[in-house]
């Protein structure tokens, strides 16, 4: 019986996904658990694996299309199995010069040629540098190509190749005929035009934009694509649909830094950062102030039982927030180890969808950039986000005496539709208190 491959919902905030790249084509054999298609969501790019073994009988959604969750993307069937016509027309198949009279069957790949499993971040890097992934030796599980493998391939000396002729360069650019004619009329070099169609195909609108845009020597036009475009949309949506207010307080973390130094010596190489201490304090504070551990759903607020804290991780193309689940129930050592592991997986493009969704609160850290206070933007549908700045030595006046201490700013942004100023301030003071007397974290 044919198996439909649906676009899953990875997290309750996911509503749609974009088909970035099909890793198989119609007629290809596929195994259960083998990557079938690369999907881009609001959180990340990831491979969707096949839920059945058989042949890719139909691909129903072309690359570049954005579709809602639970859309049928493809159909997997047994070799030779008859299937019903698709509800959504499939893209037209390429024309064949001499159609065969023999029945078509799926053939195994040639000997020595296998499907290359690649993490999305490595695939993007390879595309940027023109690396043939079939020639890259993967060092990950089951030979999966990681970003480090692509970086090594980029650094390796490449064999000299004959320069491409102008005709070859022009042929390499995919252009719709009308766009090619218009470019010829205006003397426009299509190699300098960024295509917005599927697989970078140049459309007539792209040529029209290039004609209208004045040349600016020394300037580069960068399109907002992929995760960067998604972040731009979500941040603007967050600011336009929520009543955001930011409260800032200065926290004496002298004792917390002493605790950090002592633990780091004991862990021998496994460092403890200020971020880990703030996450631990925030997790406990959210149990004391559950109104901030919530998600907004239209005209309702859902107070969450689990404290799932998202940690903002910086990537070249934007921010991703892997989630520490049940953070309030974990020890400081567990939080630190899991935070490091999730951050590493996110930067390498190995994070699974369930590891970057389902957050109930977010913590973001700009202390490494010598920032003190700032106004973090809420990650919808959450209602709060806590930012921490750098740790700075300052003189502290206590009981009429001046001593040297270590201070850090905390910046809480909350949705005033859900939480009033006084309860939000009380939460911030609770977190501050936990950090200023931190020894309970190791009790």
Which residues belong to the active site?
416, 420
Q: What tokens does 209 get? A: 């934009």
Alpha carbons 68 and 71: distance in angstroms, whole number: 6
Q: At 438, is the secondary structure helix, strand, or coil?
A: helix
Contact 310, 357 (CB under 8 A): no
What is 300-326 written as a DSSP string? EEEE-SS--EEE-EEETTEEE--EETT
In angstroms, the CA 90 to CA 81 distance is: 18
Task: Compute the residue count for the chain.
Answer: 443
Of the candidates 36, 420, 410, 389, which has an alpha carbon nearest to the alpha carbon of residue 248? 410
The answer to whether 246 and 411 have CB atoms below 8 angstroms apart is: yes
- 190, 169 in Cβ contact below 8 A? no
What angle separates helix 421-436 from helix 254-267, to the nearest 10 degrees? 50
Q: Answer whether 82's CB lies under 8 Å from 103's CB.
A: no
The alpha carbons of the chain give a radius of gyration, in whole angstroms, of 26
The C-alpha atoms of residue 251 and residue 145 are separated, in whole angstroms, by 44
Q: What's 299's DSSP letter?
A: T
């Amino acid at each position: 019986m044919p198996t439909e491959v649906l676009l899953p919902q990875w997290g309750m905030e996911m509503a749609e996904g974009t088909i970035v790249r099909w890793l198989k084509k119609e007629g290809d054999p596929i195994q259960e658990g083998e990557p079938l298609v690369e999907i881009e969501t609001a959180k990340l790019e990831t491979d969707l694996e096949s839920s059945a073994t058989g042949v890719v009988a139909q691909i129903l959604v072309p690359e570049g299309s954005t579709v809602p969750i639970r859309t049928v993307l493809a159909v997997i069937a047994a070799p030779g199995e008859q299937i019903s016509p698709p509800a959504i027309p499939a893209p037209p198949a390429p024309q064949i010069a001499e159609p065969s009279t023999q029945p078509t069957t799926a053939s195994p790949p040639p000997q020595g040629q296998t499907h290359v499993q690649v993490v999305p971040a490595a695939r993007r890097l390879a595309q940027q540098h023109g690396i043939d992934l079939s020639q890259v030796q993967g060092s990950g599980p089951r030979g999966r190509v990681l970003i480090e493998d692509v970086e090594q391939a980029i650094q390796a000396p490449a064999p000299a190749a004959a320069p491409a002729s102008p005709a070859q360069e022009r042929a390499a650019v995919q252009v719709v005929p009308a766009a090619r004619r218009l470019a010829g009329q205006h003397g426009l070099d299509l190699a300098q035009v960024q295509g917005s169609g599927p697989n970078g195909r140049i459309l007539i609108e792209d040529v029209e934009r290039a004609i209208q845009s004045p040349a600016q020597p020394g300037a580069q036009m960068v399109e907002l694509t992929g995760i960067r475009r998604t972040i731009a949309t979500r941040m603007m949506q967050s600011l336009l649909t929520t009543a955001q207010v930011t409260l800032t307080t200065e926290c004496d973390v002298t004792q917390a830094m002493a605790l950090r130094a002592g633990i780091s010596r004991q862990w021998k190489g496994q460092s403890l950062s200020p971020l880990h201490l703030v996450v631990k304090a925030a997790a406990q504070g959210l149990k004391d102030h559950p109104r901030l551990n919530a998600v907004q759903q239209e005209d309702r607020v859902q107070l969450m039982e689990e404290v799932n804290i998202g940690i903002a991780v910086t990537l070249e193309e934007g921010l991703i927030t892997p989630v520490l689940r049940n953070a309030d129930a974990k020890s400081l050592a567990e939080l630190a180890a899991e935070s490091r592991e999730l951050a590493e997986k996110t930067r390498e493009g190995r994070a699974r969808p369930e590891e970057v969704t389902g957050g109930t609160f977010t913590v973001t850290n700009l202390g490494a950039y010598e920032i003190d206070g700032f106004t973090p933007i809420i990650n919808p549908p959450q209602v709060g986000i806590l930012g921490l700045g750098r740790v700075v030595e300052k003189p502290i006046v206590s009981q009429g005496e001046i001593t040297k201490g270590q201070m850090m700013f905390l910046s809480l942004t909350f949705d005033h539709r859900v939480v009033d100023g006084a309860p939000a301030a009380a939460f911030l003071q609770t977190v501050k208190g936990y950090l200023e007397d931190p020894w309970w974290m190791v009790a």
